[in-house]
Amino acid sequence: MQRLDYAWRLFGTGLSFAAFGIGGLVISLVFFPLFNLFVRDREKRMAYAQRLVHGAFRLHRDFTIFMGVIDWETHNAEALANDEGVLVVANHPTLLDVVLLMSMMKRSQCIVKAAVARNPFMRGVVAATGYIRNDDDPEKLVADCVAALEQGNNLIVFPEGSRTVPGADVKLQRGVANIAIRARVPIRLVTIKCEPPTLMKGQKWYEIPPRRMHFTIRVQGLVESESYIGESVPSIAARRLNGHLAEWLMGEVGHGTARGSHSASHR
């Protein structure tokens, strides 16, 4: 019975990844060109595209649950669903994190690597939704993120810059705190846990665990970036906020050292 369950989940995992790629291609080739044809306003096109991706990710999430690949539970999900103009900061244990988060938010943007933006399955999605490309220009990246937040969009950021490495020190990208300070927006903290751990950095899609993955997503409170600004210059405020986030993240992943967090100020 265990072998049969394992084989079924392996099949379901492969089918889920294939469906994800094909779905992205279909959306890019069919739906987004229709938006371009019938919706002249760029902001409206982006909003429609983001809602379409939200629906597609919900469908993909439900499909993986139906296939027995994952199950999940959420806590305080309604807070995330109702956020507007918020910087969503989450830990990043698995490859599925952004799919699950976006399935919970009708409109959201995220930062994507340049390689993802060039991927034929995802290129059209990135362009239509206005997702922010990371082209290794830190100043432009921060400016683009601030502009997206000032327009009232939610922005999902994984502050480690990549998937969490088990046992490694927690080191955050400084740009996350800079974005929050410059945009003067609140930060929504979200924790993601997956048991047993899988789809981590360096793992192949077919390296599935001995039992179904169980995700627990906890939507926590808001961190007001304004409280870090005060009389401080932006660089010092960003350093203090970055330290706070590093210590928070270290507590969530349960290992490592929050590097550079000695100047954190908890509010």
pLDDT in tens, 189-220: 999 999 999 999 889 999 999 999 999 999 99
Give the pLDDT confidence score for residue 247 in this predicted structure: 84
Distance CA 127, CA 118 (A): 10
Query: For residue 42, what is the enclosing H or E element?
Result: helix 42-66
**What pLDDT digit, counting tens, does each position of 48-79 carry?**
999 999 999 999 999 999 999 999 999 999 99
Higher-scoring residue by pLDDT: 257, 69: 69
CATH 3.30.70 matches 2-253: no
Residue 262 has pLDDT above 70, yes or no: no
Give the pLDDT confidence score for residue 264 in this predicted structure: 32
In the chain, the amino acid numbered 259 is R
Higher-scoring residue by pLDDT: 238, 54: 54
Domain boundaries, the chain: 2-253
Give the pLDDT confidence score for residue 232 in this predicted structure: 67
* Model confidence pTM above 0.85: yes
Q: How confident is the model at residue 122 (pLDDT cuts 50, 70, 90)?
A: confident
The pLDDT of 239-250, averaged and rounded, is 85
